[in-house]
Structures are given as structure tokens and as C-alpha cells.
Structure 1
Amino acid sequence: MSGRPNRMDGLDKAAVDRAEAKDFSLGGKPMRPRDAATLILLDRSGDEVRVLMGRRHRKHAFMPGRFVFPGGRTDPADGRIPVTSGLHPDEERRLIGTGSRATAARARAVAMSAIRETYEEAGLLIGEKGTFSTTAKDWQGFAENGVCPSLSGLRYIARAITPPGRVRRFDTRFLAAWRDDVAVELPDGGPTHELEELVWLSIPEAKKTEVPLITCTILDDLEQRLKVDPELKPGAPVPFYSMRYNRFERALI
């Protein structure tokens, strides 16, 4: 990480492009960002909170070789999967947000996609042990392992929209959960094997790995929040990162 800034907010577009040159393919036509979600899984069993990170394969076109949180693009169908408990009302309100596309169904799909991606990439099933059945192919791992998905423990941590001028753009919601919320840990990881190396690191350690600049920024925000809110109480203001007037800005939502 030497030779580059430690945070993304406040940088102009040229500086952001330089910082992300190895993570994104620059160029392409203007496009609307796609919904995506990522899960920051936290372990508080030791002296300091640790976070789960995984390294993406170096042959990937998107963020090759970088350490990231499990996550990916949202599938609207995820919102129709049954759960034992929904989002905390305060978290749901913030996740719904405002605007023409702000709906509870969309917020639920985003949250569920974070849980699904954590299973697929890390082999960690968040929910409660019990009978669960669905015809959805992507959720058969929960049925096979007897885990009913649950959203009640999820906390909204941050939102970031990929700057324009990239071949791929995402409107990503960063959610957090405690390792206590994991009902089953598969010994061989997730079925997609998208993350080559899964490690539990303290937040200061995680910020020193090969992480994308936006990930480092979110980790820094999370570290500061945990100092004043170690339980991650629901309903806290959420930092929102986006490019405005040629500068990557941070706002609270």
C-alpha cells in the first residue's frame, strides 16, 4: 500500500483513477451502477476484533489479487428467499434509503445477497439451525446443511458507488455481522472457490494487506465506529461514498 493514499474520500477523479488502475478496467461507455453487497464478518472472541478477508485470484479481471470481503452482485430473486427473521427495522429504513428505486424488497434482496455470497465464497452460512427448503438453486447449500437464513444480526456499515469511467460499476452496500451469527462453517470453504485465501485479521492488519483503496477506507470507518459503538447498535448513520463534481466525497446517510 506504500506510495498511495490511505483513504479514498477527498481525492479528485485523476487521483482515484491512479489509485485504482490495477483494480478496475478503465474506460467503457457510461453505465448505471448495479446493486451489489458485501459482508464484513467480525470475530470478537479474542483481545481485538478480527475481520474475515479473502484474496481474489490474480487472473480475475476485477480486483485481481486483492484482499476483499465476501460479496458480489445482487440478484433480485434473493429477496424472495424465506428467512427466520428480517432486518432490524432501523437498519431496514437506512438500507431502503430514498429515491425512486428505494423499496423494502430491494433492501431485502441486497441484504440476502450478502449472506448468499458469504456462503458461496467463504463457506459460512449465516442463520439458525433448522429445517429449510427452497427451489432456488443458489440457496441449496442452506437446505443441505439445515440452516435457515436470518437477517436480524446484520448491520449497515457503508455504501459506495464505483466512480464513472470503469468497465464495471457497482452500488455496493457494506454490511457487517458477527461470527456468532454463523450457523455452519464448511471445512472446505464455499462452492465457487472465488477467494483463494481466507484469513482472519485485526483491522489494523487488514488495512496493511493488498486491499483496494475503498476497502481500506471502509475498514478505517469501521475501526472508528467500533471505538464508540463496540456492539454496532442498529440505526447508526452510514457513510456514503460517491463521485461528485470531479471529487470522491463522503456523506452521512
Structure 2
Amino acid sequence: MTDAPNRMDGLNREQIDKAESKDFALGGKPMRPRDSATLILLDRVDGDVRVLMGRRHRNHAFMPGRFVFPGGRTDPADSRIPVADGLHPDEERKLIGSGARASAARARAVALSAIRETYEEAGLLIGEKGPFSTNAKDWQGFAEHGVKPSLSCLRFVARAITPPGRVRRFDARFLAAWRDNVAVELPDGGPTNELEELVWLPIREAMEAEIPLITCTVLQDLEQRLKADPELSPGGDVPFYAMRGKTFRRQIL
């Protein structure tokens, strides 16, 4: 048995530092969190919802050996990538309203970054089959496989800001989509080596895997949302986690 916490909200700074000591390098100068985008890809099998996760290499400095969702830093240039269709208006409003510096362009960049990272790390191209061209180097895989990215399938399901006192800090937006929205699945995974093992796990099993504490927290929230809204309708409540005072707190966007 272990007395380790399985949620981040309600913990103080000392408790969080202890819980995340193996995942984050502590210290460093104060810094503004960088925008990042994460995609939770879902697949319904025999009435059970599974999530796609990949294990980070154990020699990585950031979250070594942990199972995570595909994701990474948001690239503002992604906002200029042409799409088959844009974000659902309710989802766009949620993303625009989720930060002081947010805008329609930033919301679009977040969404497209999540799709790009899912291709790069997992070899899954979300969108619609058809002609697609761009000069952007990071999107040539979509052009080669004839997939035009699509944003209307994405749902904004959580936001979390890394607590201060870490060498790396992120303002992470967690988006979700269904496996049905994947136009192409590459048999050998994505072109990067960020994730060495890709698995589809039932949500309950995913919570028991080697995952970061914030990932477990987000999965618990997602499980509850799916019980009330199995199809993830647009515009649902979005939990937002961040340090407020001395405590890591949860509020709803």
C-alpha cells in the first residue's frame, strides 16, 4: 500500500514537490509558463473507453519513464496551417477565455500543435483525407499522406499550469478526440523518438500506470465527464489547475 496522493488539487507546495520529485527538476529562476498542447485520444471498445499513452525514455530529464499523452510546446506558427474545418465555436470560446494572452490565433495554434505532436510522437494523423500542401517543415507528413488537419473534432477538457520552482513550466491545455477522427495510422509510429512504447489502456488501468500526478488528476475528471456526457459534447466544463496562494487548486472554466 502507498499513501502517495492520486490528485494534485488540494496539495500544498511541499506535498507537490515531494510527489513530483522524480518527474521535474526543481530549482531554476522564476519563469513564465510556456504554452503547451496535449491530446488525449480516446477509443471505445466493447463499451469501455481506452486512452492512448506512450512511455517517455527513461534517460529523459523531463518525466523519465512516465506514460504520457502525446504533446509538447505550442508553436505559434501552427496557427497558419490550413485546415479542413476549424474549432467548434464553443470550444474556441473556451480556449480563448483560458488565458490572459489568449486569442483566436493562439487557440488555433494550441489545437493544431496537439494534432501535430500526435503525428510526430504516435504516427496518427487527425483530419480528412484529401489534397493538402504547406511549406511548413513540421507538417510535411500530412502532405505526404494526403491528410488535411481538422479541428472540429477536438474537445478542450482540462488546463493545468506547472507549479513554480521547476526548471520547466508549462501552461498545458489538454484536448481530447476520438480514434475515429484519425485519417491515417502509420504502422511504425511517428518520426520522433519521444515515446518508446505506445499502448491503448482503459481509463482505470491508465490511472494505475506510471503516470504523472497531473495526468492522473485529468483522467479522473475525464472519466467523470464521460459518465455524464459519453460523446463529449462541445462546450463542456473545463477544470483548471494552478497554484493559488500556497495550494494547488481546481476551478472550472
TM-score by length of 1: 0.98
Q: Aligned with 1:222: secondary structure? A: helix
One-letter amino acid matched to 1:129: K
Residue 96 (structure 2) pairs with residue 96 (structure 1):
yes
Distance 2:102 2:23 in 1: 29
Map of 2:11 onto structure 1: 11
Runs ≥4 residues deviating over 3 A: none
**Aligned pairs for 1:139-150 within 5 A:** 139-150=139-150
Map of 2:108 onto structure 1: 108
The alpha-carbon deviation at position 98 of structure 1 amounts to 5.5
Distance 1:137 1:147 in 2: 15
Distance 2:98 2:192 in 1: 34
Distance 2:133 2:102 in 1: 29
Distance 1:139 1:2 in 2: 44
Q: Aligned with 1:55: secondary structure? A: strand
**Aligned pairs for 1:26-41 within 5 A:** 26-41=26-41
Map of 1:250 onto structure 2: 250
Map of 1:203 onto structure 2: 203
The alpha-carbon deviation at position 171 of structure 1 amounts to 0.1
Residue by residue over 1:179-200, the C-alpha shift from the partner in whole angstroms, topping out at 9 and shown as x without a partner, is 0000000000000021010000
Distance 1:242 1:6 in 2: 16
The alpha-carbon deviation at position 45 of structure 1 amounts to 3.4
Residue 240 (structure 2) pairs with residue 240 (structure 1):
yes
The alpha-carbon deviation at position 46 of structure 1 amounts to 2.5
Identity over aligned pairs, percent:
78
Distance 1:185 1:3 in 2: 40
Map of 1:188 onto structure 2: 188
The alpha-carbon deviation at position 99 of structure 1 amounts to 5.3
The alpha-carbon deviation at position 100 of structure 1 amounts to 4.2
One-letter amino acid matched to 1:77: A
Q: Structure 2: 5+ residue runs without aligned partners?
A: none
Residue by residue over 1:142-161, the C-alpha shift from the partner in whole angstroms, topping out at 9 and shown as x without a partner, is 00000000000000000000
Q: Structure 1: 5+ residue runs without aligned partners?
A: none
CA RMSD of aligned residues (A): 1.0
Distance 1:38 1:101 in 2: 19
